[in-house]
C-alpha cells in the first residue's frame, strides 16, 4: 500500500468528507498529512479525556512515586507486568489481597489508568457503592441495564471487597456480574480478606464458592503484606510537627532562665 493510499484510508476513518471530496486535487499537498495527524491526535485526546471522566478513578499516587520499600511483601515484578496490560488479551482478572493501607487501591488505579491511556474503557467503583446501587433497583429492566453498565467496560475495578458484610441478595448480584464478565472482560478486585474469609463477607450466601471460583479462574492473585502506609504517613507528620515545636519551646525556655 502506498503512503498516499494509507493517508487516504486514515482520512476515511476520520470521516473527513470535505477533504476526501477533493482528494485528487489535494493529496500531494504538504499540509494534508499534518492535517490528518492533527485530527487523529485531537480525537485521541478527547477520547482519553472522556474515558477518564467516565472511569471515575479519582485521585491517586503515580506508580513512579509508590514506596516499594514499605510493604513487607509485594511482588513488584508482578505489578509491573500488569502495567504491560497483557492480562487484558486473555480477559484475565486481577485480585490484590492485603490489609488496609498497603496500597491496593493505588496499584489498581495505576493499572486502570494505564488501560485508559492505551484506549480501553474502564470503570472504578467500590463494592459497597456498586452492590448497594444494584440491590436498590426494584425493576428488572432497570437492573439489567445497570448490570450491563458494569459488565461492559474492558476493565472493571471493584475496590474494598471485604470491608462490609453483605446479604445473600448482594452476593447473588456480584456473582451475576462476575459471571457476565467471566472470560469476556477483565475485573480487578481489591480485598482486605483472604478468600477463606469471604464466607464472613457474604454470610449464608450459597454462591460464595462459585463466585470465588469464577473470579480466580484465569486470574493473577497478588498478596500484599505490611503495615498501613497511611498510619506511617500520619506518624511522620506527627513527628515533623513535634520537631517543629521543639526549637520554639527551647528558645522560650532559654529566655525565662
Q: What is the pTM of this model?
A: 0.82
The pLDDT value given to residue 235: 79
The pLDDT value given to residue 254: 47
Q: Quick one: three-class SS letters along the chain?
A: CCHHHHHHHHHHHCCCHHHHHCHHHHCCCCCHHHHHHHHHHHHHHHHHHHHHHHHCCCCCCCHHHCCCCCCCECCHHHHHHHCCCHHHHCCCEEEEECCCCCCHHHHHHHHHHHHHHCCCCEEEEEHHHHHHHHHHCCCHHHHHHHHHHHHCCCEEEEEEECCCCCCHHHHHHHHHHHHHHCCCCEEEEEECCCHHHHHHHCCCCCCHHHHHHHHHCCEEEEECECCCHHHHHHHHHHHHHHHHHHHHHHHHHHHHC
Weakest mean pLDDT among 171-175, 237-241, 252-256: 252-256
The pLDDT value given to residue 255: 43
**Domain boundaries along the sequence of the chain:** 3-49, 63-231
pLDDT surpasses 50 at 190: yes
The pLDDT value given to residue 256: 40
Q: Looking at residues 10-32, what average pLDDT do you find?
A: 95
Domain at 63-231, CATH class: alpha beta
The pLDDT value given to residue 248: 56
Q: Looking at residues 47-63, what average pLDDT do you find?
A: 94
Q: Looking at residues 165-169, what average pLDDT do you find?
A: 95
Amino acid at each position: 500500500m502506498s503512503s498516499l493510499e494509507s493517508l487516504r484510508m486514515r482520512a476515511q476513518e476520520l470521516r473527513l468528507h470535505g477533504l476526501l471530496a477533493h482528494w485528487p486535487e489535494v493529496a500531494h499537498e504538504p499540509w494534508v498529512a499534518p492535517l490528518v495527524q492533527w485530527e487523529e491526535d485531537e480525537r485521541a485526546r478527547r477520547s482519553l479525556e472522556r474515558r477518564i471522566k467516565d472511569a471515575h478513578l479519582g485521585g491517586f499516587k503515580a506508580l513512579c512515586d509508590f514506596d516499594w520499600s514499605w510493604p513487607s511483601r509485594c511482588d513488584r515484578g508482578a505489578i509491573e507486568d500488569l502495567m504491560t496490560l497483557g492480562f487484558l488479551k486473555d480477559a484475565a482478572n486481577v485480585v490484590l489481597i492485603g490489609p488496609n493501607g498497603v496500597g491496593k487501591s493505588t496499584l489498581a488505579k495505576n493499572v486502570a489508568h494505564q488501560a485508559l491511556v492505551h484506549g480501553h474503557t474502564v470503570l472504578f467503583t467500590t463494592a459497597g457503592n456498586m452492590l448497594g446501587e444494584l440491590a436498590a433497583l426494584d425493576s428488572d429492566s432497570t437492573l439489567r441495564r445497570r448490570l450491563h453498565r458494569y459488565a461492559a467496560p474492558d476493565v472493571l475495578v471493584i475496590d474494598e471487597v471485604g470491608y462490609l458484610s453483605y446479604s445473600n441478595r448482594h452476593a447473588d448480584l456480584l456473582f451475576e456480574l462476575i459471571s457476565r464478565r467471566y472470560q469476556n472482560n477483565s475485573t480487578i478486585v481489591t480485598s482486605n480478606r483472604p478468600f477463606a474469609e469471604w464466607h464472613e463477607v457474604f454470610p449464608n450466601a450459597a454462591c460464595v464458592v462459585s463466585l470465588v471460583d469464577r473470579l480466580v479462574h484465569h486470574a493473577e492473585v497478588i498478596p500484599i503484606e505490611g503495615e498501613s502506609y497511611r498510619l506511617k504517613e500520619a506518624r511522620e507528620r506527627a513527628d515533623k510537627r513535634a520537631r517543629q515545636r521543639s526549637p520554639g519551646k527551647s528558645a522560650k525556655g532559654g529566655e525565662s532562665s
